[in-house]
Chains A and B, each alone.
Chain A
Amino acid sequence: MQHTLEQFFRALRAADVRVSPAEAIDASRAVAVTGYGDRTLFRDALCSTLAKSAEEVDRFETVFDTFFARDALAPPPEGSEREAPSEQDLAAVESSPLARAVLEGDNAQIQQSMEEAANRAGVADIRLTTQRSRLTRRLLEEMGLEEIERIIANARRMPNGEGEGLADRLDQARRDLFAEAQQYVARQHDLYAAGSARELREERLARKQLNADGGVDPVDYQLMQALVKKMAKRLAAKYSRRRQAAQKGHLDVRKTLRRSMAYGGVPFNIEWKVKKIDRPSIVAICDVSKSVAAAAQFLLTFLYSLNEVVDRMEAFAFSGRMISVTEILEENGVDGAILKVLQEIGFQQTDYGRSLQDFAEQHLESLDRRTTVIFLGDGRSNFADPRLDIMRTIHDRARAVIWLNPEPESYWGQGDSVMNRYARFCHVAKQCGTIEQLERIIEDVLRSYVPH
């Protein structure tokens, strides 16, 4: 049974439920307490030791039901009562225990031999959908299907058709077995391979160039949103909670002594060392114009997620002009918010100079030594005045200016791009074309430029 548990852990891991060795040991201990008799108890005990969040509980239940569903799917005994196999038939199938089990309708035996065959055939190592038919074939071979086929052939060759009855029955059983094996392999595929397919998709998506033609495939869009959200949450968990933290119970001797003066040097009141820590304050400015249309949705998704998790953030979006979108992001769901921003300001001719001027006129005073400014845009200003002077002011006032550009560095400064000129006023200017890059850069940014 230990082996079965190990397989079950593997299936769980494939379904993105993280099972560490320590948890595996706990689960085994839990099973030792509960035993295998009561299915609900067994399931709940495993669940409490293995699944560590509400989502994981859902996934756990799905995997549990699929994994331990064997008996439910065993071939049902035929409706008509099966006549006991005749002596003669049994003699004919002597060479094949499988055929005997089939004739006697011994489902438990069939089930068991299928499990054993599956182990030998390595069905649990399945990775791809395309491996299914080959593995089904191998599973049946390991179970000894060839022997049954030989018996059928022999029976058909018998004179006067006296073997026909046996052959027909075995033939039917063979088809049932085939269907059963197919189902078995399909279930194994669901258990072990479904997760890896999703991982593959996520991995590919994380590396996909977001400003490529057509941007993100609508099919992948939801997956991307989930990915971006996960990332933003991870980053925020790391950085947004550094606030006012009293320093671990250290006595502030200086202050205490000063206080004690009032009581003739007797320290009635104790003072503690306290360290004030600012929360990060971020101003994010996002380009949603035509030239970055493909990436705009992605950038906005990121902006939205960041806004959800970072406490003090102001968000702006611009193409021709610049508007503050903090409120829109806060009041709408992610899809609604993105749509609304794009409706209000999206896909116009970019005018970096004009937008910077808007920003300078209305929001420049919100920048101070503790603010980090993040630009998300391609730096293509349609040959309009880029207003480098404003950029310089922003650079001087803010703690850090970070520019993330979906275009590769070799394009900067070509055509109407003024990126190379803006880059001079940025503390960091980097290409950021994929989700993976974005995460790495933002993490760097938060670590080195946000006060903590």
Chain B
Amino acid sequence: MTISNPAAAANAADPLASVDALIEGLGSVGYISSRRIATALFMAVKLEKPILVEGSAGVGKTELALSTAKLLGLPLIRMQCYEGLDESKALYEWKYGKQLLYTQILKDRMGDALADAPDMDAAMDRLHGMGDLFFSEPFLEPRPLMKALREDDGCVLLIDEVDKSDEAFEAFLLEVLSAYQVSVPELGVLKAKTPPLVFLTSNNVRDLGDALKRRCLHLHIPLPEAALEERIVATRVPGIEAKLTRELVSFVQTLRTLDLRKSPSISETVDWARALVLLHADSLSADVVRDTLNVILKFEQDIGAIEPQVVELLHRH
């Protein structure tokens, strides 16, 4: 794989040489990864297989893809899945408007072109030739999947929240993911020169089909342990005091052991750390925590349940 991005090239060692190099490489672009994450990514690159990343919201699934693209110096193509997403939005679409407009414009010219045709059959033949004109590249609107396959130097393709798409779309993805090719009826089969590195993320809204899972490597990102989380906060929020980091991470870790509707995940920890830095807090006090509780807890009930216990929870660690 070629490294074109100067920032990545400056990172002299090849990040794909070994898992350790990959951990270090990801660290250099601001993603602190566990060994398991790096191994899965390493395997995905070596085996040229898509990687399915699962985990609760905010543990850094999307971030992993972004950081990898940055590290490898590849363009990132992102496709957000949602209910009702179909081929025309994911793969390609004909520019119907343009086609129709062209037909309108050409309408007058059509008479001239067909005027000297000796008979009906000859005129029809000419028309057939024009028909193909409208289903050619200039009228093709490539969507993320096709864009990714057409990147000749490879790219990182992020298919975000694939569990939100329909089964039909999932089935459609199979061809793309196993052979890195798609068939467009009018143009033929389109195959990627360099297979893109594909990330699929899932929040487990529904179970994905076995066929899709089988084609992917699987990576489950759990909520991190305290030490890892402290490093993540330190990397993501420059200028934060070590003491504050320790305190807030341990407070968040305590929160996760409680029965909440939505446990805070890494992104919430990082947001909270940023908020605290902005407030110039240098340590956690009950008042500060109460004022900023809405940054880490996203449900009214959770906030209501935790607020009275803040002092006790702060003393627990």
Contact = CB atoms under 8 A, between A and B. Distances in A.
Interface of A: 18, 20, 22-23, 26, 29-30, 33-34, 40-41, 44-45, 47-49, 51-54, 56-57, 233, 237, 241, 243-246, 248-249, 251, 256, 260, 265-268, 270
A241 B206 contact: yes
A87 to B, nearest CB: 50
B189 to A, nearest CB: 19
Interface in B181-212: 206-207, 210
Interface in B7-58: 19, 35-36, 39-40, 42-44, 46-47, 49, 51-52, 54
Given A18-B210, A20-B214, A52-B214, A267 B100 contact: yes
B97 A270 contact: yes
A48 B207 contact: no
8 contacts: A23-B214, A45-B43, A49-B43, A52-B214, A241-B166, A248-B87, A249-B89, A266-B101
A54 B54 contact: yes
Nearest to A33: B46
A48 B214 contact: no
Interface residues of B, number: 40
B220 interface: yes
Nearest to A251: B96
B86 interface: yes
A92 to B, nearest CB: 51
B88 interface: yes
Nearest to B85: A246
Contact of A26 (B35, B42, B47, B222): B47
Contacts, number: 100
Interface string B209-223: 010011111111010
Contacts of A244: 84
Contacts of B213: 52-53
Interface string B65-109: 000000000000000000110111100010011001100100000
B167 interface: yes
Given A49-B218, A249-B93, 18 more contacts: A18-B210, A33-B43, A40-B35, A44-B35, A44-B39, A45-B39, A45-B43, A47-B218, A48-B44, A48-B219, A49-B47, A52-B52, A53-B213, A241-B83, A245-B84, A246-B86, A249-B87, A267-B101
A44, A241, A244, A266 — most chain B CB neighbours (10 Å): A44
Interface of B: 19, 35-36, 39-40, 42-44, 46-47, 49, 51-52, 54, 83-84, 86-89, 93, 96-97, 100-101, 104, 166-167, 206-207, 210, 213-220, 222
A243 B83 contact: yes
A30 B47 contact: yes
A51 B218 CA distance: 7
A176 B268 CA distance: 55
A251 B47 CA distance: 40
